[in-house]
Amino acid sequence: MKVIALIAAIMTGALLIYGIEEMPKWGDPNSPASSHVSPLYIQEAIEKTATPNMVTAVLADYRGYDTLGETTVIFTAGIACVLMLRKKRKGGGD
Amino acid sequence: MLDYVIGKYNFWIYAVLMMIGLYAMMGKKNLVKKLIGMNIFQSAIILFYISTGVKTGGATVPILMGHAQEHGHQAIDVAGYLNPLPHVLMLTAIVVSIATTGVALAIIILIYRRYNTLEENEILKIRKDTGV
Amino acid sequence: MIWQLDLILCIFVIICAIAAITIKDLLAAVIILGAYSFFMCLLWTEMGAVDVAFTEASVGAGVGTVLFIAAVSKTKRRSKD
Protein backbone atom coordinates (compact mmCIF):
# COMPACT_ATOMS: atom_id res chain seq x y z
CA MET A 1 0.00 0.00 0.00
CA LYS A 2 2.77 2.38 0.94
CA VAL A 3 4.67 1.51 -2.22
CA ILE A 4 1.62 2.33 -4.36
CA ALA A 5 1.24 5.65 -2.55
CA LEU A 6 4.92 6.45 -3.06
CA ILE A 7 4.72 5.61 -6.77
CA ALA A 8 1.58 7.72 -7.19
CA ALA A 9 3.19 10.68 -5.38
CA ILE A 10 6.35 10.43 -7.48
CA MET A 11 4.34 10.25 -10.70
CA THR A 12 2.36 13.34 -9.69
CA GLY A 13 5.62 15.09 -8.88
CA ALA A 14 7.02 14.13 -12.27
CA LEU A 15 3.95 15.63 -13.95
CA LEU A 16 4.35 18.83 -11.91
CA ILE A 17 8.04 19.06 -12.81
CA TYR A 18 7.15 18.51 -16.47
CA GLY A 19 4.73 21.44 -16.17
CA ILE A 20 7.41 23.69 -14.67
CA GLU A 21 9.05 23.88 -18.09
CA GLU A 22 6.24 26.14 -19.32
CA MET A 23 6.39 28.53 -16.35
CA PRO A 24 7.86 31.99 -16.85
CA LYS A 25 11.19 32.69 -15.17
CA TRP A 26 10.88 33.42 -11.48
CA GLY A 27 10.29 37.10 -10.75
CA ASP A 28 9.88 38.13 -14.37
CA PRO A 29 8.12 41.55 -14.31
CA ASN A 30 6.52 40.79 -17.71
CA SER A 31 5.09 37.42 -16.73
CA PRO A 32 1.39 36.93 -17.61
CA ALA A 33 0.31 36.98 -13.97
CA SER A 34 1.67 40.47 -13.36
CA SER A 35 1.01 42.08 -16.74
CA HIS A 36 -2.75 41.76 -17.28
CA VAL A 37 -5.01 42.78 -14.41
CA SER A 38 -2.74 43.77 -11.56
CA PRO A 39 -1.33 47.02 -13.08
CA LEU A 40 -4.87 48.40 -13.01
CA TYR A 41 -5.20 47.66 -9.30
CA ILE A 42 -1.76 49.09 -8.52
CA GLN A 43 -2.49 52.35 -10.34
CA GLU A 44 -6.11 52.95 -9.41
CA ALA A 45 -6.39 51.60 -5.88
CA ILE A 46 -5.28 54.87 -4.25
CA GLU A 47 -7.72 57.02 -6.26
CA LYS A 48 -10.73 54.78 -5.92
CA THR A 49 -10.37 53.53 -2.36
CA ALA A 50 -7.96 56.00 -0.69
CA THR A 51 -6.08 53.10 0.89
CA PRO A 52 -2.30 53.01 0.50
CA ASN A 53 -2.14 49.27 1.15
CA MET A 54 -3.24 47.61 -2.10
CA VAL A 55 -3.78 44.20 -0.53
CA THR A 56 -6.35 45.47 1.95
CA ALA A 57 -7.89 47.72 -0.73
CA VAL A 58 -8.57 44.70 -2.93
CA LEU A 59 -9.55 42.49 0.01
CA ALA A 60 -12.04 44.80 1.67
CA ASP A 61 -13.17 47.11 -1.14
CA TYR A 62 -13.04 45.43 -4.54
CA ARG A 63 -13.70 41.97 -3.14
CA GLY A 64 -15.77 42.86 -0.09
CA TYR A 65 -18.47 40.29 -0.84
CA ASP A 66 -15.79 37.65 -1.21
CA THR A 67 -14.54 38.45 2.29
CA LEU A 68 -18.13 38.34 3.55
CA GLY A 69 -18.49 34.85 2.09
CA GLU A 70 -15.22 33.84 3.74
CA THR A 71 -16.58 35.00 7.09
CA THR A 72 -19.67 32.86 6.44
CA VAL A 73 -17.38 29.86 5.86
CA ILE A 74 -15.60 30.45 9.18
CA PHE A 75 -18.93 30.85 10.99
CA THR A 76 -20.26 27.62 9.48
CA ALA A 77 -17.08 25.77 10.47
CA GLY A 78 -17.32 27.04 14.04
CA ILE A 79 -20.99 26.05 14.31
CA ALA A 80 -20.19 22.60 12.90
CA CYS A 81 -17.36 22.09 15.43
CA VAL A 82 -19.59 23.14 18.34
CA LEU A 83 -22.43 20.86 17.18
CA MET A 84 -20.10 17.89 16.77
CA LEU A 85 -18.19 18.25 20.03
CA ARG A 86 -20.95 19.22 22.49
CA LYS A 87 -21.74 16.86 25.34
CA LYS A 88 -24.56 14.52 24.40
CA ARG A 89 -27.62 14.46 26.65
CA LYS A 90 -28.18 11.05 28.22
CA GLY A 91 -30.31 8.75 26.12
CA GLY A 92 -29.58 10.57 22.89
CA GLY A 93 -27.49 9.02 20.13
CA ASP A 94 -24.44 6.82 20.62
CA MET B 1 19.59 22.50 -18.92
CA LEU B 2 21.53 24.18 -16.11
CA ASP B 3 19.45 27.30 -16.58
CA TYR B 4 16.32 25.16 -16.49
CA VAL B 5 17.33 23.78 -13.09
CA ILE B 6 18.87 26.86 -11.48
CA GLY B 7 16.55 29.54 -12.83
CA LYS B 8 13.47 27.73 -11.56
CA TYR B 9 14.78 25.97 -8.46
CA ASN B 10 11.94 27.31 -6.33
CA PHE B 11 9.33 25.59 -8.49
CA TRP B 12 11.20 22.31 -8.00
CA ILE B 13 11.04 22.83 -4.25
CA TYR B 14 7.27 23.44 -4.39
CA ALA B 15 6.83 20.25 -6.40
CA VAL B 16 8.81 18.34 -3.75
CA LEU B 17 6.67 19.82 -0.95
CA MET B 18 3.48 18.81 -2.81
CA MET B 19 4.85 15.28 -3.22
CA ILE B 20 5.57 15.06 0.52
CA GLY B 21 2.05 16.20 1.37
CA LEU B 22 0.44 13.88 -1.16
CA TYR B 23 2.44 10.89 0.09
CA ALA B 24 1.46 11.66 3.70
CA MET B 25 -2.21 11.83 2.69
CA MET B 26 -2.14 8.52 0.83
CA GLY B 27 0.54 6.42 2.51
CA LYS B 28 0.20 7.17 6.23
CA LYS B 29 -2.35 5.23 8.25
CA ASN B 30 -2.80 7.63 11.15
CA LEU B 31 -5.58 10.19 10.66
CA VAL B 32 -3.69 13.08 12.30
CA LYS B 33 -0.73 12.32 10.03
CA LYS B 34 -3.06 12.54 7.03
CA LEU B 35 -4.23 15.94 8.25
CA ILE B 36 -0.64 17.14 8.66
CA GLY B 37 -0.02 16.05 5.08
CA MET B 38 -3.05 18.03 3.93
CA ASN B 39 -1.71 21.13 5.67
CA ILE B 40 1.67 20.72 3.99
CA PHE B 41 -0.01 20.29 0.59
CA GLN B 42 -2.12 23.42 1.08
CA SER B 43 0.79 25.60 2.08
CA ALA B 44 2.82 24.33 -0.88
CA ILE B 45 0.04 25.47 -3.21
CA ILE B 46 -0.17 28.83 -1.42
CA LEU B 47 3.60 29.20 -1.72
CA PHE B 48 3.34 28.56 -5.47
CA TYR B 49 0.70 31.26 -5.88
CA ILE B 50 2.64 33.80 -3.82
CA SER B 51 5.73 33.16 -5.91
CA THR B 52 3.85 34.09 -9.10
CA GLY B 53 3.42 37.60 -7.69
CA VAL B 54 7.14 38.18 -7.19
CA LYS B 55 8.87 40.75 -9.43
CA THR B 56 12.60 41.16 -9.49
CA GLY B 57 14.31 44.46 -10.18
CA GLY B 58 13.55 46.76 -7.27
CA ALA B 59 9.92 45.91 -6.60
CA THR B 60 8.82 46.34 -2.97
CA VAL B 61 5.82 45.32 -0.88
CA PRO B 62 2.47 46.51 -2.32
CA ILE B 63 2.03 49.50 -0.01
CA LEU B 64 2.18 52.97 -1.55
CA MET B 65 4.93 55.32 -0.44
CA GLY B 66 3.97 58.62 1.19
CA HIS B 67 4.75 60.88 -1.75
CA ALA B 68 2.52 58.96 -4.11
CA GLN B 69 -0.34 59.46 -1.70
CA GLU B 70 -0.01 63.23 -1.72
CA HIS B 71 0.11 63.58 -5.50
CA GLY B 72 -2.78 61.37 -6.47
CA HIS B 73 -2.62 62.17 -10.18
CA GLN B 74 1.02 61.32 -10.48
CA ALA B 75 1.46 58.08 -12.42
CA ILE B 76 2.40 55.15 -10.20
CA ASP B 77 5.25 52.98 -11.42
CA VAL B 78 3.81 49.50 -11.83
CA ALA B 79 7.22 47.80 -11.84
CA GLY B 80 7.99 49.24 -8.41
CA TYR B 81 5.35 47.23 -6.55
CA LEU B 82 4.72 43.52 -6.29
CA ASN B 83 1.59 41.98 -7.74
CA PRO B 84 -1.06 42.31 -4.98
CA LEU B 85 -3.67 39.93 -6.42
CA PRO B 86 -2.09 36.57 -5.42
CA HIS B 87 -1.60 37.92 -1.90
CA VAL B 88 -5.29 38.75 -1.57
CA LEU B 89 -6.47 35.39 -2.89
CA MET B 90 -4.08 33.49 -0.65
CA LEU B 91 -5.15 35.42 2.47
CA THR B 92 -8.61 33.96 1.89
CA ALA B 93 -7.11 30.51 1.24
CA ILE B 94 -5.14 30.47 4.53
CA VAL B 95 -8.19 31.29 6.63
CA VAL B 96 -10.35 28.72 4.83
CA SER B 97 -7.64 26.08 5.29
CA ILE B 98 -7.69 26.69 9.05
CA ALA B 99 -11.48 26.28 9.02
CA THR B 100 -11.23 22.94 7.21
CA THR B 101 -8.51 21.82 9.64
CA GLY B 102 -10.75 22.63 12.60
CA VAL B 103 -13.71 20.67 11.23
CA ALA B 104 -11.45 17.74 10.35
CA LEU B 105 -9.99 17.67 13.88
CA ALA B 106 -13.51 17.68 15.35
CA ILE B 107 -14.40 14.69 13.14
CA ILE B 108 -11.18 12.95 14.25
CA ILE B 109 -12.17 13.41 17.91
CA LEU B 110 -15.60 11.92 17.16
CA ILE B 111 -13.96 8.94 15.42
CA TYR B 112 -11.68 8.39 18.42
CA ARG B 113 -14.64 8.47 20.82
CA ARG B 114 -16.43 5.80 18.81
CA TYR B 115 -13.63 3.42 17.74
CA ASN B 116 -10.98 4.22 20.39
CA THR B 117 -8.21 4.27 17.79
CA LEU B 118 -6.87 6.59 15.11
CA GLU B 119 -5.31 4.07 12.75
CA GLU B 120 -7.19 3.71 9.50
CA ASN B 121 -6.70 -0.06 9.08
CA GLU B 122 -7.84 -0.79 12.66
CA ILE B 123 -10.98 1.32 12.16
CA LEU B 124 -11.76 -0.54 8.94
CA LYS B 125 -11.21 -3.88 10.70
CA ILE B 126 -13.55 -2.94 13.57
CA ARG B 127 -16.20 -1.86 11.08
CA LYS B 128 -15.83 -5.15 9.21
CA ASP B 129 -16.00 -7.30 12.35
CA THR B 130 -19.06 -5.58 13.76
CA GLY B 131 -20.73 -5.60 10.36
CA VAL B 132 -21.54 -1.88 10.28
CA MET C 1 14.89 39.35 -2.78
CA ILE C 2 18.01 37.42 -1.77
CA TRP C 3 18.17 34.07 -3.47
CA GLN C 4 20.64 32.56 -0.97
CA LEU C 5 18.26 33.26 1.93
CA ASP C 6 15.40 31.92 -0.17
CA LEU C 7 17.25 28.67 -0.87
CA ILE C 8 18.20 28.17 2.80
CA LEU C 9 14.62 28.77 3.95
CA CYS C 10 13.27 26.39 1.30
CA ILE C 11 15.65 23.66 2.50
CA PHE C 12 14.56 24.23 6.11
CA VAL C 13 10.92 24.00 5.03
CA ILE C 14 11.52 20.67 3.30
CA ILE C 15 13.39 19.29 6.33
CA CYS C 16 10.52 20.33 8.61
CA ALA C 17 7.94 18.77 6.29
CA ILE C 18 9.78 15.44 6.13
CA ALA C 19 10.29 15.43 9.91
CA ALA C 20 6.63 16.22 10.56
CA ILE C 21 5.39 13.22 8.62
CA THR C 22 8.01 10.71 9.82
CA ILE C 23 8.01 11.27 13.60
CA LYS C 24 5.88 8.72 15.47
CA ASP C 25 5.04 10.96 18.42
CA LEU C 26 2.03 13.01 17.28
CA LEU C 27 2.65 15.92 19.67
CA ALA C 28 6.20 16.34 18.36
CA ALA C 29 4.90 16.14 14.78
CA VAL C 30 2.40 18.89 15.50
CA ILE C 31 5.03 21.15 17.06
CA ILE C 32 7.27 20.59 14.03
CA LEU C 33 4.30 21.53 11.84
CA GLY C 34 4.17 24.82 13.77
CA ALA C 35 7.87 25.37 13.04
CA TYR C 36 7.14 24.59 9.38
CA SER C 37 4.44 27.27 9.39
CA PHE C 38 6.84 29.83 10.84
CA PHE C 39 9.48 29.01 8.23
CA MET C 40 6.79 29.41 5.58
CA CYS C 41 5.95 32.79 7.08
CA LEU C 42 9.63 33.85 6.90
CA LEU C 43 9.71 32.72 3.28
CA TRP C 44 6.71 34.90 2.45
CA THR C 45 8.18 37.90 4.23
CA GLU C 46 11.28 37.41 2.15
CA MET C 47 9.14 37.32 -1.01
CA GLY C 48 7.45 40.59 -0.05
CA ALA C 49 4.01 39.25 0.87
CA VAL C 50 3.86 40.85 4.31
CA ASP C 51 0.08 40.63 4.75
CA VAL C 52 0.08 36.93 3.98
CA ALA C 53 3.06 36.45 6.29
CA PHE C 54 1.46 37.89 9.38
CA THR C 55 -1.84 36.19 8.67
CA GLU C 56 0.04 32.89 8.48
CA ALA C 57 2.01 33.66 11.65
CA SER C 58 -1.14 34.37 13.65
CA VAL C 59 -3.70 32.06 12.05
CA GLY C 60 -1.70 29.24 10.52
CA ALA C 61 1.05 28.82 13.08
CA GLY C 62 -0.82 30.06 16.16
CA VAL C 63 -4.43 28.93 15.93
CA GLY C 64 -3.63 25.87 13.81
CA THR C 65 -1.08 24.55 16.32
CA VAL C 66 -3.46 25.20 19.20
CA LEU C 67 -6.25 23.28 17.44
CA PHE C 68 -3.92 20.37 16.67
CA ILE C 69 -2.61 20.20 20.24
CA ALA C 70 -6.16 20.26 21.63
CA ALA C 71 -7.16 17.39 19.35
CA VAL C 72 -4.05 15.33 20.15
CA SER C 73 -4.56 15.85 23.89
CA LYS C 74 -8.13 14.55 23.57
CA THR C 75 -7.06 11.50 21.55
CA LYS C 76 -4.00 9.24 21.46
CA ARG C 77 -0.47 10.58 21.33
CA ARG C 78 1.32 7.58 19.84
CA SER C 79 1.07 6.80 16.18
CA LYS C 80 1.96 3.49 14.55
CA ASP C 81 3.60 4.99 11.44
Q: Which of the residue ranges A41-45, A79-83, B15-19, B45-49 would you say has the lowest mean pLDDT?
A: A41-45
Residue C79 belongs to some domain of the structure = no
The pLDDT of residue A33 is 83
Q: C16 lies in which domain range?
A: 3-74
Does C48 contact B16 at a Cβ distance shorter than 8 Å? no
Q: Are A6 and B27 in contact (CB under 8 A)?
A: yes
CB contact at 8 A, A59 and A67: yes
Q: What pLDDT, on the 0 to 100 scale, is given for residue B68?
A: 53
Q: Alpha-carbon distance B128 to C78, whole Å? A: 24
Q: Which residues contact B45 (CB under 8 A, 6 or more apart)?
A: B18, B93
C19 within a domain of the structure (yes/no): yes
* Rounded Cα gap, residues A62 and B84, in angstroms: 12
d(CA C76, CA C35): 22
Q: Ranked by mean pLDDT, which of A27-36, B2-11, C72-81 comes out on top?
A: C72-81
CA–CA distances in Å: residue B108 to residues B32, B121, B131? 8, 15, 21
Instruction: Identify whether C64 is part of a domain.
Output: yes
Residue ranges of B 9-28 with Cβ closer than 8 A to chain C: 9-10, 13, 16-17, 20-21, 23-24, 28
pLDDT in the model for residue C40: 93
Q: What are chain B's domains? A: 2-63+84-130 (1.10.287.3510)
- Note the pLDDT tens digit of each residue in C27-72: 999 999 999 999 999 999 988 899 999 999 999 899 999 999 999 9
Structural domain contains residue C60 = yes
pLDDT of A22 > 90? The answer is no
Query: What is the block-wise mean pLDDT of chain B (132 residues), using blocks of 10 residues?
Result: 75 91 92 94 92 84 71 70 90 93 94 91 92 77
Residue A69, min C-alpha distance to chain B (Å): 10
Residue C9 lies in a domain: yes
Measured between CA atoms, the residue of chain B closest to residue A60 is B88
Domain chopping of chain A, boundaries: 42-86
Count: domains in chain C: 1
Would you put residue B9 in left (φ > 0), alpha (ψ -120 to 50) or beta? alpha
Which among B6, B57, B35, B7 has a CA at the least distance from the CA of B111?
B35
